[in-house]
């Protein structure tokens, strides 16, 4: 045993994630990372490896947390149809979040062709999300809110595509009201049925 670390690993990952989220991977310099974490180069490199590894680590942390939130939301919403609607509408929750977009989506657009590990992480994430949503679709079918002949996986993929489309529209700076209306329109067509109580 010797001198203990003077930083909290989670806090560092959180700061790093925000930096990459706001500026992107390539546009974030090592100096930026030192500034937002308050660490020295030696500490950062000893703890996380180089810039790319640190990025992948932050990205994984982000997707894990997001996955947890999604599962919790899907599971805790009484009516599955409402959960699915909330899922699609998520990118529209507030204007700030809408412009920021999704770290995984931003990273995919920036790096999917250049970094195989990012691409792998993207596929992993979206397959996991699809599975989670599909499970919820099945529940909605049991509850009589989604036609029983619909393929759950295919339905989940369509909902995910719609959601990602909204994420993207938000990133273009579309006004939040307009974005919300578009989201409602998509939800109404993809998930028809009695409105939320």
Partner DNA sequence: CGAGTGGTGGACCGATCGGTCAAGAATTAC
Partner DNA sequence: GTAATTCTTGACCGATCGGTCCACCACTCG
Q: Closer to a second copy at the Cβ: 27 or 46? A: 27
Report the C-alpha gap between 155 and 134 in whole angstroms: 7
Of 90, 72, 94, 86, nearest to 196 by C-alpha is 86
Which position among 4, 78, 148, 195 is part of the footprint of DNA (CB under 7 A)? 4
Q: Closer to a second copy at the Cβ: 39 or 103? A: 103
Report the C-alpha gap between 148 and 141 in whole angstroms: 6
Residue ranges that bind a second copy, judged by CB under 8 A: 22-24, 26-27, 99-101, 105-106, 108-114, 119, 122-123, 126, 154-155, 157-158, 160-169, 171-174, 178, 181-182, 185-186, 189-190
Report the C-alpha gap between 121 and 125 in whole angstroms: 6
| Helix, strand, coil share of the chain (percent; to 5) | 75, 0, 25
Q: Does 46 bind DNA (CB under 7 A)?
A: yes
Q: Does 5 bind DNA (CB under 7 A)?
A: yes
- Shortest distance in whole angstroms from residue 36 CB to DNA: 13
Q: What is the DSSP string of 48-117?
A: H-SHHHHHHHHHHHHHHHHHHHHHHHHHH-SSHHHHHHHHHHGGGS-HHHHHH--HHHHHHHHHTTT-HH
Q: Closer to a second copy at the Cβ: 64 or 175? A: 175
Binding mask 52-81 for DNA (x = CB under 7 A): x-----------------------------
Q: Closer to a second copy at the Cβ: 9 or 93? A: 93
- The residues of the shown chain that bind DNA, judged by CB under 7 A, are 1-7, 28-31, 39-43, 45-47, 50-52
């Amino acid at each position: 045993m010797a001198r203990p670390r003077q930083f909290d690993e989670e806090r560092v990952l959180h700061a790093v994630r925000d930096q990459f989220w706001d500026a992107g991977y390539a546009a974030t310099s090592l100096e930026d990372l030192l500034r937002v974490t308050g660490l020295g180069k030696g500490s950062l490199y000893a703890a996380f490896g180089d810039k790319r590894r640190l990025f992948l680590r932050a990205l994984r942390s982000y997707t894990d947390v997001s996955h947890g939130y999604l599962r919790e939301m899907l599971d805790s919403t009484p009516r599955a149809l409402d959960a699915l609607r909330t899922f699609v509408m998520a990118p529209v929750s507030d204007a700030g979040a809408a412009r920021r977009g999704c770290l995984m989506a931003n990273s995919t657009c920036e790096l999917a062709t250049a970094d195989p590990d990012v691409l792998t992480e993207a596929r992993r994430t979206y397959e996991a999300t699809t599975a989670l949503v599909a499970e919820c679709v099945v529940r909605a079918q049991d509850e009589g809110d989604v036609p029983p002949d619909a393929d759950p996986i295919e339905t989940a993929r369509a909902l995910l595509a719609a959601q990602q489309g909204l994420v993207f529209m938000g990133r273009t700076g579309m006004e939040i009201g307009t974005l919300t209306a578009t989201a409602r329109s998509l939800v109404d067509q993809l998930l028809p049925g009695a409105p939320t109580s």
